A and B are shown apart, each in its own frame.
Chain A
Amino acid sequence: MKTETDCKILCAHVSKEFIQKSSQRVNVIDDISLDVKSNEFVVILGPGQSGKSTLLRIIAGLELPTSGRVAIDGREISGPGPDRGLVFQSYMLFPWKTVMGNVELGPKLRGVGKKERREIAQHYIDLVGLNGFEKHYPHQLSGGMKQRVGIARAYANNPTVMLLDEPFGQLDAQTRYFMEKETARIWETDKRTVLFVTNNIDEAIYLGDRIVTLKGKLPGRLHDVYDVKLPRPREHTDMKFLELRQQITDASELVL
């Protein structure tokens, strides 16, 4: 029997209802329980409108669950905090800050001195491969580079949990594939507990230690859990990769 402190993230019977303007209740998430081990890479896979982003926002603390609870390291969360880093689908960089300004914001808000936070930020800018772009503004960067800034910004605040909400959803197929490789490389260089939300089955298998699938329609319910036991770095054309892909496709209502 596992105790609560064994797992890094614990979601117990989490449900979420939104009340719309017409006072209609929309059930977005229904009774999802999930636990994530320390330094584990868990992918939440589900089609659009399956409540996966809402689940991530609840774990981030930006939304409160209607019922159930979420705990990090055994402590129930009550709001957003720097122990979790969030990477957004639409990047959400500050257009008025340079790459350096964006990445160093976390340490700056925590009161880290200028010299030290510059060093931290520089380390993660280098890690995501943006060396030489420190003084660029976001509008001067391509989509893939913007998301690298987003990842570096989350990392620089030294969170123990990284939450990524369809981070490559706006990228073209080639850049996306490349960014997946980069994500695996960055994670293996600097391991954190990762919850990665996506609707892309290849991305899920390529990145995840474990894949959690959600049912296709609202309210979002847990469907299946797959352990991915493939060695890294993974190959999209590996037979075992394709078998698992087939298995997940057959079992889910994902339209691929």
Chain B
Amino acid sequence: MNSIANEVQAQIKERSPLSIWRFLKNRWFLHAVSTIAFFIIWDYVAFNRFLGSALARPYEVLLQLANMMVNPIAGKDLIGHIWASTQRILTGFAIGAVLATPLGLFMALNRYVNAIVKPVFDLIKPMPPIAWISIAILWFGIGEPSKIFIIVVGTFVPCLLNAYNGVRLIEPQLYDVVRMLGGNRRDEILHVCFPAAFPAIFAGLQISLSCAWTCVLAAELVSARSGLGFIILLGMTQSKPALIVGGMVVIAMVAWLTTLLVTGLEKVLCPWKREIQTA
């Protein structure tokens, strides 16, 4: 009797909306705690100069970014530099994805294409895209084409691999369904291959996009007159930690936004995955 009564009481306690323990376990509360703690520790470390003068305090970074909105650096304000990097990424990403995704699909669907392309691709696959920078500059000069080339190389590999594996990992019995219903090879590709590979293709696009940010940064650090990599490099040569950290923060935010865009696009184009993801 006693134990049942205790149990009921415990349940009532747990359901109580005013419980402090419940509040402490709240997800959003914990998010807030970790975020605020991060900024406090950052400010503490920067203020006490544990890392010398190389780390700017959060408010200095904010001030620097606000200043850049008004006073242009190297002929461009902050938005201009963000756009310079984003433009390179979008161009390179688009070219890379448009070339690699169909090629990956072809390789998975046709063993002759696979046999021809795979050895060359396997050779190039493990090469870090940044290793191409020097040769790209020799080929295309220090202007835009060499930067875009690096991004194309960087996005190519994950796009191709994901499209390829997306088709390769399809449950073979799904083809049996189409064949039993009277479909031919074309129907198999249209009704099974493409839709089944779609989520994997999108995962490839996501990976490519973050890879593209790495590539554009590297390219801009080597040679550029604009872009967020240029801002970071400028911060280093002028010993302005606020400029460096500011550039890093902006990159994180813009990269996060572009990823959000691709995720949103996937949700629109793959409605059957919508509820699995939010669940």
Contacts and interface: CB of A to CB of B under 8 A. Distances in A.
A82 B180 contact: yes
A105 B187 CA distance: 10
Most buried by B among A86, A138, A140: A86
Interface stretch (A9-17, A64-72, A92-100, A196-204): A92-100
B179 A62 contact: yes
Interface in B133-180: 171, 173-174, 176-180
Most buried by A among B174, B181, B275, B276: B181
B195 A81 contact: no
B182 interface: yes
Interface residues of A, number: 27
A157 to B, nearest CB: 5
B182 A92 contact: no
A166 to B, nearest CB: 13
Most buried by B among A60, A80, A137: A80
A106 interface: yes
12 contacts: A62-B176, A82-B180, A82-B181, A84-B180, A88-B176, A90-B173, A92-B176, A105-B178, A109-B183, A137-B272, A138-B272, A140-B275
Give the 6 A-B residue pairs with the shortest CB-CB distance, closest first.
A82-B182, A96-B195, A106-B181, A80-B179, A109-B183, A86-B180
A18 to B, nearest CB: 15
Interface residues of B, number: 22
Q: Which secondary structure dominates chain A's binding surface? A: loop
A2 interface: no
A105 B271 CA distance: 18
B196 interface: yes
B182 A109 contact: yes
